[in-house]
Amino acid sequence: MRKNILVAASVLAFVAASPMAQAKGCLKGAAVGGVAGHVAGNHGAVGAAAGCAVGAHHAKKKDEAQQADQAAQKTQQSQQPQQAAPAAPANKS
């Protein structure tokens, strides 16, 4: 029991000390990895560490893909010709 508390405190300290940019996918991955590691044979801390790394990697890939999509949209919008405002109809009075 004491070991579990020590491991949980260590993981919590590690997550709190890591920068927020890396914590994006780390928390979710650590939770899933910790549960999977515990179920797989009392390796919760190892699972949490691996889950954190995988979650952060996936979050980074997702952010890069979104940035690439936004850049492509901006490029596409800048290449479209500007449409002139329609001319006002002439008064036939």
Q: How many domains does the chain have?
A: 1
Two tokens at 43?
A: 């390796």
Cβ contacts of 58 within 8 Å, gap of 6 or more: 25, 29
Residue 81 lies in a domain: no
pTM over 0.85: no
pLDDT for res 18 = 59
pLDDT for res 17 = 61
pLDDT for res 69 = 92
Q: What is the DSSP letter of 93?
A: -
**Average pLDDT in the chain:** 79
Residue 23 lies in a domain: yes
**8 vs 50, higher pLDDT:** 50
Residue 88 lies in a domain: no
What is the domain range of residue 37?
2-65
Angle at 9 between CA 22 and CA 7, to 5 degrees: 95
pLDDT at 65 over 70: yes
* Gap between the Cα atoms of 52 and 13, Å rounded: 13
Two tokens at 49?
A: 């560490």
